[in-house]
Amino acid sequence: EAGVVQSPRYKIIEKKQPVAFWCNPISGHNTLYWYRQNLGQGPELLIRYENEEAVDDSQLPKDRFSAERLKGVDSTLKIQPAELGDSAVYLCASSRGQTTNYGYTFGSGTRLTVV
């Protein structure tokens, strides 16, 4: 089975510019997560989707971050405008079902550098 696919792999932008990340989850996985990982830290949840519904976005900085998951499959995470502190790796993950007792699968991430 194909894994979680993310693009782009790397992105370098100037501060105040917009940026978008794309994620295609594993087929049949209705739960999708966006995490952010800063250097030397573990991943931190930004937003979780159950199908097309965002069920937990409490950690998403809503003044500049937005996300969508149209049709409950692919998802896009956007930052506008980007700040220097947004430099991090943005990881997408997916899992099957709401109540799974298993860990989930991450994509290879997008490494964002804001200069």
Partner 1 sequence: RKEVEQDPGPFNVPEGATVAFNCTYSNSASQSFFWYRQDCRKEPKLLMSVYSSGNEDGRFTAQLNRASQYISLLIRDSKLSDSATYLCVVNPFSGGYNKLIFGAGTRLAVHP
Residues in contact with partner 1 by CB under 8 A are 31, 40-45, 48, 50, 55-56, 91, 95, 97-109, 111
Q: Please count the CA atoms within 13 angstroms of the CA of 77 that sit on its side-chain side.
A: 32
Of residues 2, 10, 6, the one with CA closest to residue 29 = 2
Closest distance of CB 94 from partner 1, Å: 11
Complex with partner 1: residue 27 or 41, whichever CB lies closer: 41
Complex with partner 1: residue 81 or 106, whichever CB lies closer: 106
Contact 29/95 with Cβ under 8 angstroms? yes
Contact 30/93 with Cβ under 8 angstroms? no
Closest distance of CB 113 from partner 1, Å: 13
